[in-house]
Each structure stands twice: as C-alpha cells, then as structure tokens.
C-alpha cells in the first residue's frame, strides 16, 4: 500500500478518541445483539408460508358465487405489486336477477410475508394514481363469524371513488381489510406497526379488496351491506384453507 495511504491511517489510529469511538461502536453492536438474543427480539422477520396457494381456493365453497373470470396480472405489474401470491377474480351470484347491480363482484387478494418494511398497496393511493377521485372514505366494522376475529368484529375500510372512463366518470364503492399476524386491521399504518413488532419472529399480511361492478343506483349503505354478506361467504374459506394458523405457529415457536 502506498505511503500516502498508510501514513494518514497510522495518524488516525494513534488518536485516542478514534480508538474509543470504535470500541464503543463494537461494544454497542455486541450489546444490542446480545440483548436481542436474551429478550427474544426479532428485527429481521421470517416468512410464513400459506397453507396452500391462494389461487387454489375452492370456488365450490363460495356458493352462491361462481367464478366468471380469473384475471392474470402482467409480469411488470406483478413486479410492482411485490408478490406472486394473489388472485383477482370476477364472481357472479347466480341467485340474483340478471339486472341486479350486486350480481357481479370482484375480489382482489394479495399475500406478503417476511418483509416488515413493506408498505401495503391500498386503494386510497392506487385509485388516485390511476386518475380516480376519492370523494369519501371512512372505516367501519363488519360482523363476520368463523374467521378468528375478536368478538367477530372485522375492521373494514371503504372508499367512494369516481373512476375515469372513456365517456367520463363512474362512481364506485371499494372496500378492503387486512389479515395480519393472526388478527385483522383496516389501515396500512396499523399493518406496518404489527409487522414491526420486535417480539414477533414471523410476519405476514394479506389484503382483501372488494367492489361490485355496477352499483350507481344503490346507496353506500346498501353497497356496504352487500359487501358484508360477500365477505361472510369468502373470508371463512380463505381463513381456514389458506391463511397461516398464527396461534399454532406462535405456540410451536414458544415451545421450541
């Protein structure tokens, strides 16, 4: 190594303050890792596999809904989405009249795991980015049984959006919620807080988004009521057949 490099380095290492700073950094790093091991803190999360892929969801269990179309997202959009674990399905409730605005429903499900820094994609941002106008939004609660929600209360977020189309705008009510680390949330900030809990070794979240194709003749309350009915059919199947059993995972981890 040339003298012009060696001499300045020697001068630096002769400085007591430099040696002290390096020593403190090393000790601090060792101390943090030691404390993390002792306290069972987890700064880096481990992934949680699905029970089985979401795209293998048994449509027969969703009666009276049947699958009309499964939408495949282009690779470049999937890359931006950040996961290959998804479904985007158009479903039809054949028990309703052909002109019933609630006959057709779209459900979009995405699953992420092992990445606590992931910022969830939410309609609040995505619809605006694609030219929509959010005219109203709020959080509400659905009463959903058989999905492990505390007191059967599922937090649910809705948006009333004006979508730009070829002939102008069309109003649409969009709703969504998250299953995250064995519980349910309705905002991405809540998801991020749970994902970054240092006491959890694992992390996952799943977003479920719902909207009806044509509901301009119906009030927002009517739309939300029908969304609740759909979620009561769809979520128990997703929960039991696909999403991780968080309690079993934590119990197994604590016993190991």
**What's the pLDDT score for residue 108?**
97
Contact 227, 175 (CB under 8 A): yes
Same domain, 84 and 129: yes
Same domain, 123 and 227: yes
Q: pTM (2 decimals)?
A: 0.81
Same domain, 59 and 12: no
Instruction: Please name which of 13, 106, 31, 15 lies closest in space to residue 67, comparing C-alpha atoms.
Output: 106
Domain of residue 14: give its range.
3-39
Question: What mean pLDDT is reported for the chain?
Answer: 83
Domain membership of residue 67 (yes or no) is: yes
Same domain, 74 and 113: yes
Same domain, 64 and 18: no
Domain membership of residue 149 (yes or no) is: yes
Over the stretch 113-137, which tens digit does the pLDDT of each residue have?
987 567 788 888 888 877 778 889 9
Q: What angle do CA 102, 105, 107 make, to 5 degrees?
A: 150
Integer Cα distance of 157 and 189 in angstroms: 13
Over the stretch 81-97, which tens digit does the pLDDT of each residue have?
889 999 999 999 999 99
Same domain, 89 and 216: yes
């Amino acid at each position: 190594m040339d003298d012009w490099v060696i001499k300045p380095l020697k001068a630096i290492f002769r400085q007591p303050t430099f040696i002290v700073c390096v020593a403190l950094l090393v000790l601090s790093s060792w101390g943090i890792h030691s404390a993390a091991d002792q306290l069972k803190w987890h700064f880096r999360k481990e992934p949680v596999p699905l029970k089985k892929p979401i795209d293998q969801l048994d449509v027969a269990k969703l009666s009276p809904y049947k699958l009309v179309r499964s939408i495949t997202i282009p690779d470049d959009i999937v890359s931006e989405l950040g996961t290959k674990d998804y479904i985007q399905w158009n479903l039809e409730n054949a028990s309703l009249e052909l002109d019933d605005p609630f006959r057709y429903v779209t459900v979009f499900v995405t699953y992420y795991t092992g990445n606590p820094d992931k910022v969830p994609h939410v309609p609040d941002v995505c619809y605006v980015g694609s030219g929509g106008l959010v005219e109203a939004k709020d959080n509400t609660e659905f009463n959903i049984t058989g999905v492990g929600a505390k007191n059967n209360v599922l937090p649910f977020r809705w948006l009333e959006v004006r979508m730009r189309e070829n002939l102008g705008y069309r109003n649409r009510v969009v709703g969504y919620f998250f299953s995250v680390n064995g519980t349910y949330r309705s905002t991405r900030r809540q998801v991020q807080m749970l994902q970054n809990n240092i006491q959890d070794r694992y992390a996952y979240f799943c977003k479920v988004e719902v909207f009806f194709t044509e509901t301009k003749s119906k009030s927002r309350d009517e739309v939300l009521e029908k969304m609740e009915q759909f979620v009561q059919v769809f979520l128990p199947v997703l929960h039991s057949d696909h999403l991780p059993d968080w309690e079993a995972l934590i119990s197994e981890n604590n016993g190991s």
